[in-house]
Amino acid sequence: MARPRNPRTALLRLREQRALLDEKEAKLRLQAAQELGTMLLDCGADTIEPSQLKRLVTCALDRGIEVAIERIAPN
């Protein structure tokens, strides 16, 4: 891609690219949330209170996913 000679044109192009990336990020976040929601429903997590589920996930992330899985997984 050729570099524009005018800094103003370069800034406008950069803003357009940033807007497109923001839009793409929003779509991908929505898709990720939908996939996570489906997984939660599939494993029966819909029976857990939302506050408890949030606490569970937060604790697992704080300790590290692998450590949390080792602690709660059956031997």
Taking only the tens place, the pLDDT of each residue in 39-75 is: 999 999 989 999 999 999 999 999 999 999 898 888 6
Buried (b) or exposed (e) across 19-42, using 16+ Cβ within 10 A?
eeeeeeeeeeeeeeeeeeeeeeee
pLDDT of residue 1: 57
Average pLDDT over residues 17-21: 98
pLDDT at res. 5? 82
Geometric angle at alpha carbon 48, from 28 and 65, rounded to 5°: 55
